[in-house]
Structure 1
Amino acid sequence: MSANEIPAPYRVGDASVTKIPEIIADFPAGKLLPGYEPAALPPHRDGSRTLGGDGGHLPLSIHSWLVRVGAMTVLVDSGVGNGKHRASTLFDRLDTPWLDRLAAAGARPDDVTHVLLTHLHTDHVGWNTVPGPDGWVPTFPNARTLMPRLGYELFTAPGGRSRPNHDMFADSVLPVVEAGLAEFVPPEGGEVLSGFTYLPTPGHSRDHMSIIFRAEGREALFAGDVLHHPVQVARPDLSSMFCEAPEEARRSRGRMLDLAAERGLTWFSSHCAGSSAGTVTRDGERFAWSFRGADAPLRSMPSPDRGRGA
């Protein structure tokens, strides 16, 4: 995908929701989802690419979601970021046109009014900051960045520096807090701004939260890392290798699948490849996943004016 190509936006009531891609990677299926058995799973397809059932590798996408509704321009999670030293070779010192893709979707950093973080992990906070003259500075100077308070407390508590992901905390979270741009979501969640409600969904991490979005009577779910791949819809008992508390993650996943199926929510995933959005229905005693807009064409927009913003 070139820098000035972005997926077509979705509609949720009077809001538009656009995927801002960063990277995609394949993981060995059995490593990503311990207990994975491709022969026991129903097929999941997105266009011509089988997502589950090939028995080898499963693709994961890293991306953000841009929500434009009324006077608000909201970014849900902020990816890995460029030029940051990371222990994972997949994330180390990336150089992607993510900011150009954001501009192609119609938003420059100065336009963003809110950044909503589902949890404080490396691949969800990275574009919070960019290099400045004396270190990392906030990318979105006019935005309020909302993050789970529990995650912040875990990293600032005694011993927090020894936690996995601390490198991202130092360069991608603290600069935003120190600039006075952060707001903290309490562990019980709640409506943090009009139309956006945080729900506690721990398991993947202790601070993990999902977000219900409502606009003109329509609803969507930004579920974060409640699931990493559509095969977990058919097999919600499978937790990923990245989940801190697998059994708690299973319970949170079950609650969100019940909610999505019951209320017909559009599920905007953090890591499903392809269109990355879908719906969940009940199929007997199981759940089933259907991609929404999997074959939507890419739209191409003029390259952004490099004289403005990033």
Structure 2
Amino acid sequence: MTTAPTAAPAWTVGDVIVHRIDETLLPPATGPWLLPDATATVVAAHDWLRPHFADEEGVLHLDSHTFAFVADGLRVLVDTGIGNDKERANPAWHALDTDYLQRLTAAGFPPESVDLVVLTHLHADHVGWNTRLVDGDWVPTFPNARYVTSRTEREFWAGYPMEDARRQMFHDSVIPVEEAGLLDLVDVPAEGVEIAPYVRLIPTPGHTPGHVAVEVSSAGHRALITGDCIHHPVQLAHPSIGACVDIDPALSETSRRELLASLADTDALVLGTHFAPPTAGRVTTHGNAYRLTPTPAGPAPA
């Protein structure tokens, strides 16, 4: 069932307005599966997580959404969510029918207008709207865009023994983009790489080998889109908490700690790819770890 889209929440980063394009809330069971060490007892010890990021029982709130913005005239989308009509093993992702494309269009980014799609990594809930079903075929949703991901990421999966579910995801959401000649593999050095004006890829390996975060910088202001280097704000309080699907848990923790240390007590805005509303905030030192001070969004300026 679809509903009429509402104004997309947005944050101003210098001359750039970053829009959150909502896809779907994730069910309560997601937290215990994804972050098994984030137990109710652990979560309850941090009152700043309530009410936005967890409930009184310590159940984590998680979202699926993407981010869109215009950078020096380029219309950019970061990650593409779960997608509609996809055959997925995870029942929360299977055969969705959301109004995501209507929301994206209402925010000012109709699919044909998108110039650049940045994929933080190649997991099913980040590449789903790469394609859409048209007359029984999976076709690129953004036919005029350059789709960008890390070369390390694509080459890793090319040599990885895939189970049926992952093979299906590549079949419907990655390979059609490659076959259309739209996938652009980028080498991402340790210091990061600028792929467009104001847009920089920051290597954050571990969750997957080629995972990147996305930095947006403009007029002296900076925002960082986390991808899955950080799934939930509880990981600010406990950077050692990793996801059950991390390819290299130790490296994922190292990347998370380095990223948080670089953001702490700065003016950088953090935009969590799975953070429930208010989604964004600033990282502040809290004891021997960190916390997120929320920065609520507003509707985008007309």
Is the pair's TM-score, using the shorter chain for normalization, greater than 0.5?
yes
Structure-2 residue corresponding to 1:98: 100
1:261 aligns with 2:258: no
1:213 pairs, out of 212, 216, 220, with 216
Q: Which amino acid aligns with 2:288?
A: E
2:237 pairs, out of 222, 234, 239, with 234
Give 1:133 shift: 3.7
Matches within 5 A, 1:278-289: 278-289=281-292
1:123 aligns with 2:137: no
Partner Cα distance (2:264, 2:153) in 1:
29
Partner Cα distance (1:94, 1:9) in 2:
25
Structure-2 residue corresponding to 1:76: 78
Give 1:50 shift: 4.6
Structure-2 residue corresponding to 1:307: none
Structure-2 residue corresponding to 1:222: 225
Residue ranges of structure 2 left out of the alignment (5+ in a row): none
Q: Percent identity?
A: 35
Structure-2 residue corresponding to 1:44: 48
2:201–2:212 CA contact under 8 A, matched in 1? yes
Give 1:39 shift: 4.2
Partner Cα distance (1:126, 1:30) in 2:
23
Q: Which deviations, in whole Å up to 9, do the C-alpha atoms of 1:220-264 show, x marking residues without a partner?
A: 101100111111111111112232222211111101111111542
1:202 aligns with 2:205: yes
1:19 aligns with 2:20: yes
Structure-2 residue corresponding to 1:112: 114
1:28–1:56 CA contact under 8 A, matched in 2? no
Which aligned runs of 4 or more in structure 1 are off by greater than 4 angstroms?
A: 37-40
Give 1:52 shift: 3.6
Partner Cα distance (1:132, 1:155) in 2:
26
2:40–2:59 CA contact under 8 A, matched in 1? no
Residue ranges of structure 1 left out of the alignment (5+ in a row): 302-310
Give 1:29 shift: 4.7
Seen in structure 2, the aligned counterparts of structure 1 residues 30 and 125 have a Cα distance that, compared at 3 Å, is: closer
Matches within 5 A, 1:177-192: 177-188=178-189, 189-192=192-195
Q: Which amino acid aligns with 2:110?
A: R
- Determine helix, strand or coil for the equivalent of 2:264: helix
Q: Which amino acid aligns with 2:212?
A: M
Give 1:211 shift: 1.4
1:146 pairs, out of 145, 148, 151, with 148
TM-score, with structure 1 as normaliser: 0.88
Partner Cα distance (1:134, 1:39) in 2:
47
Q: Which deviations, in whole Å up to 9, do the C-alpha atoms of 1:162-221 show, x marking residues without a partner?
A: 486222111111111111111112142411111111111111112211111111111110
Give 1:35 shift: 2.7
Q: Which amino acid aligns with 1:57?
A: V
1:16–1:67 CA contact under 8 A, matched in 2? yes
TM-score, with structure 2 as normaliser: 0.90
Partner Cα distance (1:104, 1:234) in 2:
36
1:29–1:55 CA contact under 8 A, matched in 2? no
1:34 aligns with 2:36: yes
- Determine helix, strand or coil for the equivalent of 1:19: strand
Partner Cα distance (1:87, 1:196) in 2:
33
1:6–1:19 CA contact under 8 A, matched in 2? no
- Determine helix, strand or coil for the equivalent of 1:5: coil
- Determine helix, strand or coil for the equivalent of 2:263: helix
Partner Cα distance (2:98, 2:52) in 1:
26
- Determine helix, strand or coil for the equivalent of 2:68: strand
Give 1:2 shift: 3.6
Structure-2 residue corresponding to 1:306: none
Q: Which amino acid aligns with 1:43?
A: D
1:28–1:57 CA contact under 8 A, matched in 2? no
Structure-2 residue corresponding to 1:67: 69
- Determine helix, strand or coil for the equivalent of 1:272: coil
2:76–2:118 CA contact under 8 A, matched in 1? yes
Q: Which deviations, in whole Å up to 9, do the C-alpha atoms of 1:75-131 show, x marking residues without a partner?
A: 000001100111111111110000000011111011111000000000000101112
1:43–1:52 CA contact under 8 A, matched in 2? no
- Determine helix, strand or coil for the equivalent of 1:229: coil
CA RMSD of aligned residues (A): 2.3
Seen in structure 2, the aligned counterparts of structure 1 residues 50 and 161 have a Cα distance that, compared at 3 Å, is: closer
Seen in structure 2, the aligned counterparts of structure 1 residues 36 and 115 have a Cα distance that, compared at 3 Å, is: same
Structure-2 residue corresponding to 1:250: 253
